[in-house]
Amino acid sequence: MAQDASKKRLVFSTVLAYGFGDVGCNFSWMFVGNSLMFFYTDVFCISMSAVATLMLVSRVWDAVNDPLVGLLADRTRTRWGRFRPWLAFGAPLTAIVLALTFWAHPGWGDGAKIAYMYVTYALLVFGYTCVNLPYGTLCGAMTQDIDERARLNTSRSLAAMIAIGVINVITLPLVNAFGGKTSAGAYLSVAILYGAIFAACHLFCFAKTRETVAPAVRAKVPLGVQLKSVARNPPYLAALLGQFLFGAVLYGRNADYLYYFKYVAGNEDLFTTFALVIVLPSIFGAVLFRPVFALTGNKGRAAAILAFLTGLGMFAIYPFDPVGTPVMFYATAAIAQFFFAGFNTAIYAIIPDCVEYGEWKTGVRNDGFQYSFISFGNKMGMALGTAGLAAALSAVGYLEPVSGVAQAQNASVVAVMRHAFTTIPGALWLVTGFGLLFYRLDKKGYSRIIDELEAKRK
């Protein structure tokens, strides 16, 4: 009966609810990716070098908490399933930590500021892992049908693109409404609001989804055996590489947004205009994955094509700027965003299929454990992308605001900000596309694997 349920077509409300989970994720993590580094340097008045160090040092904590949460999720057994309970209990607590992270104390001494930054950021990363990792793994537990998984991930990506568009459009106006871009309380107010949305979306996802793919009853698998099973899973390793590069290019560029519009364009409020322009390309691009997948029959190849096109779009932006050549700037930015939205769907659609491949090849099914390394890879990329940006800006002489007043930056700082918005992510997208060409699991091979797994279970 469970096997039949795992192949049924999912009802619309379930697909919608799963998408809402990523709305919640983005009201937390995309807000963090876009605003936290700027908040630390220009609101909390923490040095750029200290922020760069935080982003690198915190990855040691990720190396512990990601696999830990993955193992615990795999071993969770409740009447609600293995992964859904984490959404219900983890999201409200993480919402509180999100607010604490954006609670600025610019009058504190440097040591107290840095200590507070480390503690709250570590708690936020752990809380987000406790929610996002089970949420991402949940897709594979809801269905084994490859097309239904594509529907779920299209819903997830479409919802994420809409959420990102809304966040980008409303964040700065909200900050201004709550006291201004350098106000210590403005970002806290926005974080409280976004935390409430984060929790509500995950509670909705919890309420309307069901887990139908039950793991086989086996003895606990030793950690060493699980690591070996991951190493013998080539599609998974290609997906892991893709997630690492994805995290580096996405979050490194996002961290540059406010700096680019403030110091390169000369008006950070232009970020809101930019965000409005890319909303529709984000929505339409999110559904681009399914026709490209239908054409290639291989999710990795589909992701590679979309990554190549995104990279070329990023390079096309470089000659233009939002003040001198606004039409071409926004047109090229919209094209790049269109292809990025399709890639965002593709990269997450790959992961659940790797679980079945690993079970077929090694006999070990460890959904949460595998997704923990995907999460870790993505956050490692995020760390290197944001830390790299912070280190580069610090090296060329970025000047933090004095008493809330921004200082003029030298030409090298402005050049770094400009390239971090265009050519550097463009080059990394091309590298990402090349890496995903090594993903070999196609639709026909996946169907054969599912048939053989079912035969073994029977």
Please give the full DSSP string across 388-416, using - where no structure is assigned. Answer: HHHHHHHHTT----BTTBPPPPPHHHHHH
Domain with residue 350: its CATH number is: 1.20.1250.20
Confirm whether 382 is domain-assigned: yes
Is 67's pLDDT higher than 60?
Answer: yes
Q: Tell me: the pLDDT tens digits for 120-171?
A: 999 999 999 999 989 988 988 888 887 888 889 888 888 988 898 899 899 9
pLDDT at 2: 41
pLDDT at 207: 94
Per the structure block, which two tokens stand in for 429? 């997208």
Lowest mean pLDDT among 7-11, 409-413, 431-435: 7-11
Confirm whether 286 is domain-assigned: yes
Is 219's pLDDT higher than 70?
Answer: no
Q: pTM of the full predicted structure? A: 0.76
**Bridge partner list, 442:** 298
Confirm whether 129 is domain-assigned: yes
Mean pLDDT of the chain: 88
**Residue 39, C-beta contacts closer than 8 angstroms, at least 6 positions apart:** 102, 104, 187
Per the structure block, which two tokens stand in for 432? 């990402």
Confirm whether 217 is domain-assigned: no
pLDDT at 174: 93
How far is residue 25's CA from residue 168's CA, in Å, rounded to a whole number?
Answer: 14
Residue 327's pLDDT band (cuts 50, 70, 90): very high
93: burial class by Cβ within 10 Å (0-12, 13-18, 19+)? middle
% pLDDT > 70, the chain? 95
Please give the average per-residue pLDDT across 221-229, as a whole number. 77
**Residue 75, C-beta contacts closer than 8 angstroms, at least 6 positions apart:** 220
Confirm whether 2 is domain-assigned: no
pLDDT at 218: 54
Q: Tell me: the pLDDT tens digits for 248-302?
A: 898 889 889 989 999 999 888 899 899 899 989 988 998 888 899 989 989 999 9
How far is residue 74's CA from residue 98's CA, in Å, rounded to a whole number?
Answer: 26
How far is residue 70's CA from residue 114's CA, in Å, rounded to a whole number?
Answer: 29
How far is residue 444's CA from residue 452's CA, in Å, rounded to a whole number?
Answer: 13
pLDDT at 269: 87
Residue in 303, 300, 307 with CA at minimum distance from that of residue 354: 300
**Bridge partner list, 402:** 405
Cβ atoms of 277 and 330 within 8 Å: the answer is yes
Q: Amino acid identity of 305?
A: I
Residue 403's pLDDT band (cuts 50, 70, 90): low
Please give the average per-residue pLDDT across 437-451, as a whole number. 87
Residue 458's pLDDT band (cuts 50, 70, 90): low
Confirm whether 119 is domain-assigned: yes
Domain of residue 300, residue span: 9-212+223-457
Please give the average per-residue pLDDT across 305-310, as a whole number. 96
When divided into structural domains, the chain yields a total of 1
